[in-house]
Amino acid sequence: MSATALEAIAVGYVRQSSAKTNKTEASPLTQRAAIEGRAAELNARFVRHYEDIGISGWNPDAERPGFEEMLKAARAGAFNMLIVYDVSRFSRREVVDAIPIVTELHRLGVTIVSVCDGVFAPRDTMALIYLIMRLDAANKESALKSKKVRDVKAAQRAKGSWLGGQTPYGLDAESYVDGKLPLMRLIHNKAESANLRRIVALIFKHMKDPNGRKRGQRNPGTLSALCDNMTRDKIPTRGQRKGKERANSTWQVKTLKGILMNPAIAGMRAEPVYKLRENGTRTNTLIDYRIIRDEDGRPERICEAIIPPAKWFVLREWLRGRGQGEGVAHGTSLLSGLRNADGKAILTCACERPQGALNSGPKPVYRCTRGSSVPSKTGEHEALNAVMQSHLDAHVAGKVFALIQSATAGDADVETVAIMIEATRVFSRSIERPETAAERTEVVTERVDANNALSELYDDLDAGLYAGSMGRSRFKEKKARIEGRITAAEKRLGELADPESVTLPLAEWLDGAENGDPLGKGSWWARAALADKRKFIELFVCRVRVKSVKNSHQGRTRGGYDVAPRIDIEFVRPEDEEGAAANSAAA
């Protein structure tokens, strides 16, 4: 119904920049009561409230759906009086931004009423001037408050202080004063930090363990198993320990993954990265963390590490690969769960998803991990893509042994030699001294971190943070320092990689083969444990890709099954060679 000139029809607008009631501004409940009371005093028929809770009136990019809905109703003539608690609830933006809205409302015949500031009626020039002055004052007050907060936070950040908010799991905030500046430092929470160390130790212990599919058997290092066990053992979540709203919370995989992905547990300062909407505005969905770095590109320290940084970087890569079919190895299969040097699944489907193992039934198979309810994309297989484990295992092992036999026969080609060199390099790392392995992990971590720092530096350049001649000069200096770190790390890795003193046990692998069959009775392959076979395959194979077939009987031969037309095998190659790991042998 349209408002008439004879009747005052009022609506209220309520805004609070924080979802929590605090002492700095009136709560939504207080604003609503005051607005309705003022409407009664003015003999206006009150219709409804429009609200934006937890939304800033200062930020010009903030979406205010309640405010937009109110303007839409005003343009439709649904009311002729807008009541706010004070003009700062209306807007804290620059006056030049607020004036068009005020003048439009007045042009529509809407009287603006502030409980704290008075009545501002249309066609009242002095009232309009006063309202604009109050809006300007609100803007300046907000700007001054923001500047003070920014200055204090800048000083606190320069001192390495924790800047407030909920502390990461495993850490508590301890207040102290430096001169007159209030600061906070992060310290270990004894119980939570001990639980984190236990969790990470279990993950690393069982990271590559096969996980049986029998009832009651479970890999204790998976995130789901860790969550279930902590809930069972009544290890409290942060919500149970501190919160009221989350006092009944339980351990969830998503929560645990978020805790472990936070660089703060490795002692590094970081800022959260949130998912963006299509229009570029930020959501509240946390998707990652961005490590804050110094001028040399090294992570800034925020506290003593709970998990050593080198170990945390390995953990982070493992966590980032926790998608469907990307978990631990399942059952007693040879190929499921194997990882290449890049941490990617070796066994994959033609649709690029990992292949998992189905070990139940008389004929275990590997099959695509695409869910049955997930529609296939253009060019992907429609039916289930599966292959019998025994057929694929024998085919892949046979290809590797053919490569070894070629190398030992003295007629190896260049590609075979390159593959053997890389396999030797990987093998040498598996038998090297613990102190050498530890140093290699540290150096690899340094190289990965430096490369990440370089990537982030270029992101900042694209964002315009190094504009102008001075900015460009600063960019070049930081780039040179980071590239120096990468060069030093690669040089040291080259020194640590010394396969010349190590040889592959080729004779042992070929020993005992009847009639020259390295997979036959009495062979090393027939005698070896599954764990040794899996390590053997990882030495030589980078990827096994299984193509789908429309006819499930395709490939049948007398006395067996030929899977060769369906399988592509990529063997390992030295990293410094062009087209590394791209030696694809159509098998």
Q: Where is 81: in which H helix or E strand?
A: strand 81-84
pLDDT at 307: 94
DSSP designation for 550? S
pLDDT in single tens digits along all 587 residues of the chain: 444 456 899 999 988 765 444 444 567 888 899 999 999 999 999 999 998 887 654 455 567 788 889 999 999 999 999 998 877 666 545 555 667 888 888 889 999 898 887 888 887 777 777 777 776 676 666 666 666 666 666 676 677 777 767 889 999 988 888 877 788 888 999 999 999 999 999 998 887 765 444 555 677 888 888 999 999 999 998 887 776 556 677 899 888 999 999 999 999 988 888 777 766 667 778 888 888 877 777 788 888 999 998 888 888 878 876 544 444 444 578 888 888 877 788 999 888 888 888 877 778 888 888 776 677 777 788 777 888 898 999 999 999 999 988 888 777 788 888 888 888 887 877 666 655 666 677 777 778 788 888 888 888 888 888 888 888 888 898 899 889 888 888 887 777 765 555 678 888 888 876 677 888 888 899 888 888 898 899 999 999 999 987 765 554 554 567 888 899 999 988 764 333 333 433 34
Q: Which helix (H) or strand (E) holds 457?
A: helix 434-462
Q: String of b and e for 115-132 (b: at least 16 CB within 10 Å)?
A: bebeebebeeeebbeebb
Three-class SS of residue 567?
strand
Question: What does DSSP say about strands 111-114 and 81-84: parallel, antiparallel, or unpaired?
Answer: parallel
In the sheet with 386-388, reading across from the earlier edge strand, the strands are 355-358, 365-368, 386-388
Q: What is the pLDDT of residue 576?
A: 46
Q: Using CB atoms within 10 A of its CB, is residue 60 exposed (0-12), middle (13-18) or buried (19+)?
A: exposed
User: Residues 47, 9: contact at Cβ < 8 Å?
Assistant: yes
Q: Report how far residue 430's alpha carbon sits from residue 208's, in angstroms, rounded to the nearest whole number.
A: 14
Two tokens, residue 463: 């964002």
Q: Are 396 and 335 in contact (CB under 8 A)?
A: yes
- Alpha-carbon distance 225 to 218, whole Å? 7
229 secondary structure, DSSP code: H
Is the distance from CB of 420 to CB of 412 less than 8 angstroms? yes
Structure-block tokens of residue 559:
């006395």
pLDDT of residue 26: 66
List, in order of start, the domains of the chain with CATH numbers: 9-155 (3.40.50.1390), 186-267+300-320 (no CATH), 347-432+502-586 (no CATH)
SS3 360: coil
47 Cβ contact partners less than 8 Å away, ≥ 6 residues apart: 9, 10, 11, 78, 79
